[in-house]
Amino acid sequence: MGSMTVPTLTLNDGNEIPQLGFGVFLVDPADTERIVADALEIGYRHIDTAAIYGNEEGVGRAIAASGIPRDELFITTKLWNAAQGTQSAYDAIDISLEKLGLDQVDLYLIHWPTPKRDLYVESWKALEQIKADGKTTSIGVSNFLVEYLERLATETDTIPAVNQIELHPYHQRPAETAYGHDHGIVTESWGPLGQGKYPLLELPEVTSAAAAHERTPAQVVLRWHIQQGHVIFPKSNNRARIAENFALFDFELTPDEQAAIGALERAGRVGGDPQEVN
């Protein structure tokens, strides 16, 4: 066990998820195989993709070429909004598996609740069946507010294993993380660096910790997520940054540093509003 070993978290269905992965939102399909191959070579074993990213084939080619045993990998993909509902969800997972070249994924998520369509309960029942059919090991949701999680708890039999939500120091999602904590739902932070849309990496709370630990500001923000107990999969096209973002397990923020970053909350969403994406 080297100092760079990625810890795993245990999901509420008993499966294990690596706490750090590599996300491929906005990775060009033409470059995906090469960039995911870089990530796998650096040591990442958890890849977060989605049908709508258009790059599942590239992820699949990189997995196949890597020779890494399937059981050492954790692959997530997501049901796109247009495929919500029961029959279309069954078709969508088959299309994703075909593109990925896999018999099953490790985690299948409802990408957005799309509340105006009002199909997420039906889609969730389809995901329960998709899991029962062995096409995914775990099922979860993304961009779910507490009211939507409560509806799943009332109207279905399965608590999601994860809720993947926009989360970074400017937008910490206290309601969703508390609900997750109380109900055994792991929080995955998407946009862990705020997608570069905020000057998070220039804030003194971040740069002073970076200087103290001889780390980069990005490593400090990512380490903050790890110590909060969140799963993350930062994205970069740049091999040096992909390696930098993997080097999070041989230093630790002090409680004061962790608290100073925690005090940056300002309800600063950079992505879509879960009530309005439909």
Selected binder of ligand NAD within 192, 209, 230, 257 (CB under 6 A): 192
Spot the catalytic one: 53, 108, 120, 170.
53
Per-residue DSSP letters for 239-258?
Answer: HHHHHHHH--SS----HHHH
Kindly state whether residue 176 participates in binding ligand NAD, applying the rule CB under 6 A.
no
Sole window of 67-75, 171-179, 237-245, 247-255 interacting with ligand NAD (rule: CB under 6 A):
237-245
Structure-block tokens of residue 142: 């993304």
Instruction: Determine contact, residues 261/224, Cβ cutoff 8 Å.
Output: yes
Separation of alpha carbons 35 and 39, rounded Å: 6
Whole-Å CA distances, 104 to 36, 68, 183: 19, 16, 26
Tell me which DSSP letter residue 267 carries: -
Dihedral pair phi/psi, residue 200, rounded to 5°: -55, -35
User: Please, which residue, 157 or 180, has the CB nearer to ligand NAD?
Assistant: 180
Nearer to ligand NAD, 126 or 200 (CB): 200
Residue 171 contacts residue 268 (beta carbons within 8 Å) = yes
Q: Are strands 186-190 and 46-48 parallel, antiparallel or unpaired?
A: unpaired
145: Cβ contacts below 8 Å, ≥ 6 apart = 113, 175, 176, 274, 275
Residue 143 interacting with ligand NAD (CB under 6 A): yes
**Residue 53 a catalytic site member:** yes
3-class SS of residue 21: coil
Asked if 194 is part of the footprint of ligand NAD (rule: CB under 6 A), the reply reads: yes
Q: Which is nearer to ligand NAD, 136 or 143 (CB)?
A: 143
Residue among 66, 8, 6 nearest 33 (CA)? 66
Least Cβ distance, residue 198 to ligand NAD (angstroms): 10
Nearer to ligand NAD, 6 or 201 (CB): 201
Binding segment (CB under 6 A) for ligand NAD, from list 7-15, 19-27, 32-40, 83-91: 19-27
Rounded Cα distance between 246 and 58, Å, is 21
Question: One symbol per residue from 89 to 118: x for binding ligand NAD (CB under 6 A), - otherwise; what is it?
Answer: ----------------------x-------
Q: Which of 169, 234 has the CB closer to ligand NAD?
A: 234
Q: Shortest Cβ distance from residue 34 to ligand NAD (Å)?
A: 16
Residues with a catalytic annotation lie at 53
Instruction: List interacting residues with ligand NAD (CB under 6 A).
Output: 23-25, 48, 111, 142-143, 164, 190-196, 201, 218, 233-236, 241, 244-245, 271
